[in-house]
Amino acid sequence: MSARTLPLLFLNLGGEMLYILDQRLRAQSIPGEKARKGERLFVFAVMNDIITTMFNKKFMEELFKPQELYSKKALRTVYDRLAHASIMRLNQASMDKLYDLMTMAFKYQVLLCPRPKDLLLVTFNHLDAIKDFIHDSPGILNQVDETFRQLIETYSCLSAGEFQLIRQTLLIFFQDMHIRVSIFLKDKVQNSNGRFVLPISGPVPWGTEVPGLIRMFNRNGDEVKRTEFTTDGNYVTPQREGSFDLYGDRVLKLGTNMYSVSRPVETHMSGSSKNLASQAKENLTPNPLAKEELNFLARLLGGLDVKTPGGSETGFRLNLFTTDEEEEHAALTRPEELSYKVIDIEATQEPGRRAELSRILGELEVAEPRPASSGKGEDLLALMDGL
Amino acid sequence: QAAWCVLPSRVLLVLTSQKGIQMYESDGSIMVYWHALDVAEHPPAQAVFARGIAAAGERFICVGTSSGLVLVFDIPPKGTNVTVSEVLEQHRDAITDIAAELGQAPDGAGDLVTADDAGSLCVWSTGEEFTLVGKIPAFGCTCSSVKLWNGIVAAGYGNGQIRLYEAATGLLRAEVNAHARWIYALDLAPQTGKLLSGAEDSFVHVWKLSRDPDTDDVEIEHCHAECVTDTQVCGARFCDPEGKSFAVTGYDLSEIFRYGPA
């Protein structure tokens, strides 16, 4: 499978995570004029911290190295860390739900990509939105643009076949996931059995002709016969191609933010158990290497300067459900086979643990992650002073 | 990938993966041969895998690789003494599919065709030494699947087109705007010339290939369409040599759908 899939997987899932967090942070706002200003600042701070962590230079360098995809468990751990890169806290149930939503959304986008290359446009849509979230912070904006440039450099020259291999690698990763998402069900984008609706109408991909025409040629290359066939499909010619530049109209809607404050996002946990059988087997088999498993990225994230709530301050807890009771109930009733069984990796300075990690990561050049500069903290303090 | 390779002396089950190529006896009982892929042949970031399997020339099995090489294995009538007889080096991009002549090849038409990610096709004549009969240039799209019948190359492309070429000369004989998405599978029923195509657009089409006896022109007509609702078709195969029924598989589908005459 393709060794260039991880950056696309990480960035798109990260993008979806930010869409959901942004929507929930605003939905969980405190009413009142005075609180509104504080709330805006708070939402900004959380998004800011997560995006800064996500686009950390060292992290991106590691991400873009050709490598196999992480296992589902390992990837989930990376997002656990990312989600906690600010003073926001999520309970297990909310984190599970967040991850379900992120993965189903991206699965949908990968599946419906008209051309394999359009996967890149989906990624660009996410990045465009991320740039919009932090458009007031030139420092982080620069980091995001850098990643944008690296994406263009790495992927622009790939052939359709190579993109299709990346797409297939992603589809295998998402295989057999059929969690029902209420916003998808409402929009008739997902069936009640959890499978996505594949439309047989609309514009054909750029570079494809509308099906129907058959042309036959003689030995001299002259067209001698022309016939047509019809099907139930109702396709039309596309108007224009999306832009693959740093800035431009992507044309494709996949990967843009489908959430808004007024649309609560729910998931239904009763997925069809038949299909989950194979996934369940994967989750329940104990993996002795799980703790040491790759997670170089998670370790890097753990080593970065993270806002840890200190003293009496407990940090702000975000709930992805409408009430605390709902969240508790979800945690208790989550089907066994859908549990992510997140392994808590403590990338601390314990000598024993470090030795193990170092041994596994022996081949990789493990430079000690430097704590982020204090500049970031100062910016936010200055902002808070302005309140 | 998995394919049955039917040779006059024996039938082998060939499997390809990221590590290499495995060949089994037709009842799956014994592994007859294992060929590991040479990782060193590939540039660091490139994927390594084998793809494209066909039995050819009555004693060979050809398998393609991600580096564009086609490995030709000489298969003994019995036993495990499989050797690499030749390595074909005409493709510069990953091999997508290989097909052997399923009917009667006209003179000079060759009996094997190989296809790659860039969309180039090569037509070969099999034997002690394989010879290149001709090349069919790419037109900007991946050729994902290919079939060869009575000297006609049927090629399915990533942009949903099916093209028919003359194997002997490489001339384009027909162009079909067949699907709205990437074509994943082509199959051919040798007794009738029926062609089956399956694509990501959820459609499976049955076509009929023929040759006008007077003009020698190649004809293709559309016979039937099936829409496998909400499924991206990944595999499609006829279940009999006349093409009266066919089976379909798709992404996220744990079932195999079989279609037959009413």
Nearest-angstrom CA–CA distance, A369 and A366:
8
Query: In sequence order, what are the residues at sequence separation of 6 or more whose Cβ sits closer than 8 angstroms to the Cβ of residue B249?
Result: B233, B234, B235, B236, B256, B257
**Per-residue pLDDT at A34:** 52
- In the block, residue with structure tokens 């933010």: A257
pLDDT-based confidence at B19, cuts 50/70/90? confident
A41 phi/psi in degrees, rounded to 5: -65, -40
Pair B60, B72: CB distance under 8 Å: yes
**Per-residue pLDDT at A275:** 36
On average, the pLDDT of chain A sits at: 77
Token duo for residue A112: 């419906």
Secondary structure element (H or E) that encloses residue A208, with its range: none
Q: Does B232 touch chain A (CB under 8 A)?
A: yes
Neighbouring CB atoms inside 10 A of B98's CB total 26
pLDDT-based confidence at A266, cuts 50/70/90? low
Q: Which residues of A fall within a CB distance of 8 Å from B175?
A: 214-215, 217
**Per-residue pLDDT at A175:** 94
Q: Does B16 touch chain A (CB under 8 A)?
A: no
The answer, yes or no, to whether residue B108 has pLDDT greater than 80, is yes
What mean pLDDT do residues B114-133 have?
Answer: 95
CB-nearest partner of A214 from B171, B182, B222: B222
**Per-residue pLDDT at A85:** 83
Q: What is the pLDDT of residues A53-91, one digit of tens each?
A: 999 998 999 999 998 888 888 899 899 888 888 888 888
Pair B195, B169: CB distance under 8 Å: no
Q: Which residues of B fall within a CB distance of 8 Å from A218?
A: 215, 217
pLDDT-based confidence at A264, cuts 50/70/90? low
Secondary structure element (H or E) that encloses residue A259, with its range: none
Q: Does B117 touch chain A (CB under 8 A)?
A: yes
CB-nearest partner of A195 from B222, B227, B230: B230
Nearest-angstrom CA–CA distance, B151 and B112:
10
- Ranges of each domain in chain A: 5-200+243-261+315-336
**Per-residue pLDDT at A84:** 83
The answer, yes or no, to whether residue A327 has pLDDT greater than 50, is yes
**Per-residue pLDDT at A345:** 43
Q: Does B204 touch chain A (CB under 8 A)?
A: no
Question: How many alpha carbons fall within 13 Å on the CB side of residue A290?
Answer: 19
The vertex-A300 CA angle with A298 and A304, nearest 5°, equals: 115
- In the block, residue with structure tokens 């020259």: A157
Name the closest residue on chain B to residue A232, using Cα atoms: B227
pLDDT-based confidence at A29, cuts 50/70/90? low
Pair A115, A125: CB distance under 8 Å: no
The vertex-A49 CA angle with A127 and A296, nearest 5°, equals: 80
**Per-residue pLDDT at A340:** 65
Interface probe with A: pick from B117, B121, B207, B230, most Cβ of A within 10 Å: B230
**Residue A71 burial class via C-beta count within 10 angstroms: exposed 0-12, middle 13-18, buried 19 and up:** middle
What mean pLDDT do residues A266-274 have?
Answer: 44
Neighbouring CB atoms inside 10 A of A237's CB total 10
Q: Between helices A6-27 and A72-83, what is the axis angle to 10°?
A: 40
Pair B256, B247: CB distance under 8 Å: yes
The answer, yes or no, to whether residue B8 has pLDDT greater than 70, is yes
Q: Residues of chain A with pLDDT > 90: what percent?
A: 47
Q: What is the pLDDT of residues A303-324, one digit of tens each?
A: 554 444 443 345 677 878 777 7
Token duo for residue B205: 């089409």
pLDDT-based confidence at A140, cuts 50/70/90? very high
Taking CB atoms and an 8 Å limit, are A161 and B203 in contact across chains? no
What mean pLDDT do residues A343-365 have?
Answer: 39
**Least trusted range by pLDDT, from A29-33, A286-290, A291-295, B33-37:** A286-290
On average, the pLDDT of chain B sits at: 94
Pair B115, B146: CB distance under 8 Å: yes
Binding-face residues of A in 16-75 toward B, CB within 8 A: 66
Taking CB atoms and an 8 Å limit, are A219 and B159 in contact across chains? no
**Per-residue pLDDT at A167:** 97
**Per-residue pLDDT at A313:** 42
Output the CA–CA distances (angstroms, integers) from residue A275 to A97, A179, A337, B51, in the order listed: 19, 11, 11, 28
The answer, yes or no, to whether residue B164 has pLDDT greater than 70, is yes
pLDDT-based confidence at B142, cuts 50/70/90? very high
Taking CB atoms and an 8 Å limit, are B178 and A227 in contact across chains? no
Q: Between helices A92-112 and A118-133, what is the axis angle to 10°?
A: 140
Compare B84 and A386 and report the one with higher pLDDT.
B84
Nearest-angstrom CA–CA distance, B122 and B126:
12
Taking CB atoms and an 8 Å limit, are A233 and B173 in contact across chains? no
Query: In sequence order, what are the residues at sequence separation of 6 or more whose Cβ sits closer than 8 angstroms to the Cβ of residue A84?
Result: A90, A306
**Per-residue pLDDT at A335:** 75
Pair B132, B153: CB distance under 8 Å: no
**Per-residue pLDDT at A342:** 53
Nearest-angstrom CA–CA distance, A359 and B42:
27
**Least trusted range by pLDDT, from A228-232, B25-29, B40-44, B227-231:** B40-44
Amino acid letter, B188: L
Compare A366 and A207 and report the one with higher pLDDT.
A207
The answer, yes or no, to whether residue A360 has pLDDT greater than 70, is no
